[in-house]
Chain A
Amino acid sequence: MTDETLPRQLAEIVDDFQDLTEPDRLQLLLDFSRGLPELPARLKEHPELLEQVVECQSPLFLSLEIGEAPERPVHLFFSAPPEAPTTRGFAGVLLEGLDGLPAAKILAVPDDVPDRLGLTRAITPLRMRGMTAMLGKIKRKIRESDG
Chain B
Amino acid sequence: MTIGNDPQEKFAAYAHPERLVSTQWLEQHLGAEGLVVLESDEDVLLYETGHIPGALKIDWHSELNDEVTRDYVDGAGFAALMSAKGISRGTTVVIYGDKSNWWAAYALWVFALFGHEDVRLLDGGRDKWIAENRALTTDRPAVSPADYPVVERNDAPVRAYLGDVLGHFGNPLIDVRSPDEYTGVRTHMPAYPEEGAMRGGHIPTAASVPWGRAAAEDGTFRPREELDAIYRDEAGLRTGDDVVAYCRIGERSSHTWFVLAYLLGFDKVRNYDGSWTEWGNAVRVPIVKGTERGSAPARANAVSGS
Contact = CB atoms under 8 A, between A and B. Distances in A.
Q: Chain B's interface: helix, strand, loop or mixed, by majority?
A: loop
Nearest to A129: B194
A5 interface: no
Given A124-B61, A127-B61, A89 B45 contact: yes
12 contacts: A26-B44, A30-B49, A54-B191, A55-B193, A82-B49, A83-B46, A85-B45, A122-B44, A122-B62, A123-B44, A123-B62, A129-B194
Nearest 4 A/B pairs, CB to CB: A85-B45, A124-B61, A86-B45, A86-B43
Interface residues of A, number: 25
B98 interface: yes
A2 interface: no
B170 interface: no
A27 interface: yes
Given A124-B61, A124-B62, A126-B61, A57 B45 contact: no
Contacts of B190: 54
Interface string B190-215: 11111000000000000000000000
A58 interface: yes
A83 B193 contact: no
Interface of A: 26-27, 29-30, 33, 54-59, 82-87, 89, 121-124, 126-127, 129
Interface of B: 42-46, 48-49, 61-62, 98, 190-194
Given A124-B61, A127-B61, A57 B192 contact: yes
Contacts of A86: 43-46
B43 A27 contact: no
B43 A57 contact: yes
A54 B194 CA distance: 10
A54 B49 contact: no
A57 B191 contact: yes
Nearest to A88: B45
Nearest to B59: A124
A26 B45 contact: yes
Given A54-B190, A126-B194, A129-B194, A26 B48 contact: yes
Contacts of B191: 54-59
